[in-house]
Structure 1
């Protein structure tokens, strides 16, 4: 006798998480959250990888040894509609115009349909490395998008 296959569900407790409900929190000075800059259209760069070095063993021609050396991270890329009067814009302006950096911790939180946290990614000592605004085009009625890219010291994935 075979057991029935349970139906697929989008219930956050037993089904797959959906990636369109999220918030981004910047912690100025490492502790105080910025309540204005939390809404973004897209977040990418949630990844880490282990760098390796290859060791060749003398007389062994069938394989090499690959040993871990360090953890590497992709830059955190945030995209949102063009915003005026944002503290985050001031930080990016200081970095790009004055070469002054104030690293902050950033947490990206995946939310359930009830807006409860399901998972999070903590980025420690994040600082701006790239800022771009989409092209201005009089023939295109598209939302103007800012792309902000941050480097950071370390990422910690949190499963809540």
Structure 2
């Protein structure tokens, strides 16, 4: 009998259709909720009937150390630059990276979540504090039209 240990959530990679893949240190919003609608039936006083309703997903929020890569800022800036205020929605995926075969070695994608028609709704540059030697963190928030679990191919 083999024991399967959980992956350490140490690094995430964001891959979006035509943009450069970017690694992140933190990711939130990988969830899907199904709403519940209650129906109160006349004469039935013990409980309300409950039915599934709309599915909803929160925005993805990814954080990383600031680098020289501008691809995500440029994607967000398209909205500001276009006269019609249009945003170009793109498909993408967030991949959980883990060491292949243990705690050491190259990082490979072991699990992923794909999203459809995502677009950046908020991008935040780092906070600066001369009294701290912390990493300059920037964040990106992506709205999207659905999330699904994917299992990347494993290296053999």
Whether TM-score is above 0.5 comes out as yes
Task: Give the shorter-chain TM-score range.
Answer: 0.7 to 0.9
> Which 4+ residue blocks in structure 1 deviate beyond 6 angstroms?
none
1:71 to 45, 50, 55: 55
SS at match of 1:112: strand
SS at match of 1:88: helix
Q: Does 1:22 align with 2:8?
A: no
Distance across 2 between alignment mates of 1:75 and 1:158: 18
SS at match of 2:88: coil
Count residues with an aligned counterpart.
Answer: 144
TM-score in terms of structure 2 length: 0.81
1:132 to 124, 131, 135: 124
Q: Relative to 1, partners in 2 of residues 1:96 and 1:44: Cα closer, same or farther, differing over 3 Å?
A: farther
Q: Relative to 1, partners in 2 of residues 1:18 and 1:83: Cα closer, same or farther, differing over 3 Å?
A: same
Query: Per-residue deviation at 1:128?
Result: 0.9
Equivalent position of 1:123 in the other structure:
115
Distance across 2 between alignment mates of 1:21 and 1:150: 18
1:126 touches 1:150 (CA, 8 Å); kept in 2?
yes
Distance across 2 between alignment mates of 1:97 and 1:139: 36
SS at match of 2:148: strand
Equivalent position of 2:99 in the other structure:
113
Which runs of no fewer than 5 residues in structure 2 stay unpaired? Answer: 101-106
Equivalent position of 1:47 in the other structure:
31
2:121 touches 2:142 (CA, 8 Å); kept in 1?
yes
Q: Aligned-pair RMSD on alpha carbons?
A: 2.1
Residues 12-38 of structure 1: per-residue CA shift (max 9 Å, x gap): xx222221143221112xxxxx33x42
Alignment of 1:33-44 (within 5 A): 34-35=19-20, 37-44=21-28
